[in-house]
Chains A and B, each alone.
Chain A
C-alpha cells in the first residue's frame, strides 16, 4: 500500500467530508421532525392515522435505500408536471434528491424506534399525569418525551450511524461526497485499495465521533438513572 498517495489525496477527500456531513446533519434534523408525528400516528387509536403511518414505515423499511433513491432521482423526472413545478428546482439536483431519500428512509426507522420508546413509558406514570389533570400535550411534553427520548437514544444513535454510512449511496446519483470523490480519484489514479481504505477510515472516524456525541448526550440526560 502506498501511504504517500493516501496523504496526498486526503485534502481532496476532506472536501467530500463536508458534503457528507451536510447530508447527515440535514437528514437527521428533517428525519427526526418527520419521525415524531409518524410515531405518534403509529401509536394513535384512530385507524385513519395508524394505518397510513404503518404503510409508510412498512414501505421504507421493506425496500432498499438505493431503490428509494433511484425512484426519486430517476423516477420523478419522468413526470412532466413535476418538471414544470417549483419542486423541480430541488428534484433536479442530486443533493436534494439524496436528502429527500435519506430523510424519508431514516424517518421510517426512527419512527419505529420512537414508537417503541413511547410505548415503554410505564402506564402508571401516564395515569398519574392524567389523574392530576394534565392535558395530552402536557402529558407528552412533560412526562412521556423526556423518558422516551432516553430510551430511544441508543437505537437512534445506531440508526443515525447506519444512515451516515448509507449516504455513500449518494455517489450513485453523481453527488461528490466522500465516496463519490474517492471514486473519481480512483478513476484518475487506479489506486482503489489505498483510496477506498482512506475513505473507510474517514467514515470510521465520523461514526466514532457520532457515537461519542450520543454517549455524552445520554450521560447528560440520564442523571436520574441512579444506580443502586
Chain B
C-alpha cells in the first residue's frame, strides 16, 4: 500500500455469503474527482463491493480507507464487525449511495427526503437544509415536485430525487448501484444526464452500471469485475480496446446484443 492520499482505498477485500465467495481479494483506489465505472456480469459482486465500502455488508477480511482513514473493524470471519459505530456513522455520512430501487422514504415528501440526512445526521439548521435541498432539486430538474410524495413520481423522477438526496449530504464520494436498471428505457436518459452533469463537476463517483456507452463517456476509469476479482481496469479506451481478456470480450459482446 503506498502512502499517497486517496479518496478511497480498498485493500484485499474478501466477502462470502455462506459457501459462496463473492469478493476474492479485491483491491482498488479512487482519487478525488475520479469517476470509476464498475462493470461485470450479474452476480459478479458489483453491488457487494459497493456495499462493503459503506459497511452495509461487512467484509470478512480486508480494509477500507476513506480519505486515508481506516474503517476500524474487530473480530474475525463471520463475527467481524465495525469496531466503532460512531466512526461508521460519520464515514457513512461522507459517502452517499444511490440505489437501484431508489429507496426513497415513502412517508416523507420529496423535500423532507432530501432534508432528512442533513438535518438529522449533519445537524444542519432546518432553514439552511431547506435551501440546500431546493438547490439540489433544481439541479436534478424537479424543483416543482418538492411537495410530492414518492408515490406520486415516475421512476426516473424518484431516482433524480434520490440523487438530490445523496447530493444534499455533500459527500466526498457518491456510490451509484445500477441507478438506471429499474427504469423504463425512456426514463434512463434523464437520470444518466444528471449523473453526467455531476461527473463534469468533478465529483468523486463509483458507478455500477450496465450502460456501456455511458460508462465510456463519463468515466475516468473503468473496472471490470469477474468472480470477485478485478479482471481489467484502466481508462475507457484501454478497457474497451482490450482484446486480451476473453471474459470481458464475451461480456462486452453480450451487452451489445441485449441493448
Which residues does A use to contact B, with CB under 8 Å?
122, 124-125, 127-135, 138, 142-143, 146-147, 150, 224-226, 228
Contact = CB atoms under 8 A, between A and B. Distances in A.
Given A142-B120, A225-B151, A228-B152, A134 B104 contact: no
Interface string B98-114: 01011111111100000
Interface stretch (B68-76, B87-95, B224-232): B87-95
A224 B96 CA distance: 25
Nearest to A146: B107
B149 interface: yes
B103 A142 contact: no
B120 A134 contact: yes
A129 B105 contact: yes
Contact of A224 (B102, B108, B117): B108
Given A124-B99, A124-B103, 10 more contacts: A127-B97, A128-B99, A129-B105, A130-B56, A133-B88, A133-B94, A133-B121, A224-B109, A226-B149, A226-B152
Given A125-B106, A146-B107, A224-B107, A131 B92 contact: yes
Given A133-B89, A134-B89, A127 B116 contact: no
Interface string B139-183: 000000000010110000000001001000100000000000000
Contacts of A130: 56, 92
Contacts of B97: 127-128, 131
B92 A132 contact: yes
Interface residues of B, number: 33
Contacts of B105: 125, 128-129, 143
A182 B89 CA distance: 60
Contacts of B92: 130-133
Interface string B34-52: 0000000000000000000
B54 interface: yes
Contact of B103 (A122, A147, A224): A122
A142 B152 CA distance: 21
Contacts of A146: 107
B88 to A, nearest CB: 8
B99 A138 contact: no
Nearest to B85: A135
A131 B98 CA distance: 9
Interface of B: 54, 56, 85, 88-97, 99, 101-109, 116-117, 120-121, 149, 151-152, 162, 165, 169
B1 to A, nearest CB: 26
A147 B195 CA distance: 31
Contact of B116 (A122, A132, A150, A226): A132
B173 to A, nearest CB: 12
Contacts of B103: 122, 124-125, 127-128
Contacts of B108: 224
B149 A127 contact: no
Nearest to A132: B117
Nearest to B106: A224
A143 B116 CA distance: 10
Contacts of B93: 132-133
10 contacts: A125-B105, A128-B99, A130-B56, A132-B93, A132-B116, A135-B89, A146-B107, A147-B107, A150-B107, A225-B151
A226 B107 CA distance: 10
Contacts of B85: 135
A45 to B, nearest CB: 11
A131 B121 contact: no
B106 A131 contact: no
9 interchain residue pairs of minimum CB distance = A133-B93, A132-B117, A124-B103, A133-B92, A128-B103, A131-B97, A133-B89, A224-B149, A133-B121
A122 B152 CA distance: 18
A46 to B, nearest CB: 13
A133 B56 contact: no
Nearest to B168: A132
A134 B90 CA distance: 9
A125 B108 CA distance: 12
A228 B154 CA distance: 11
A138 B120 contact: yes
Nearest to A150: B107
A225 B152 CA distance: 9
B89 A127 contact: no
User: Could you say which of A132, A224, A226 has the most chain B C-beta atoms within 10 Å of its C-beta?
Assistant: A132
A135 B54 CA distance: 14
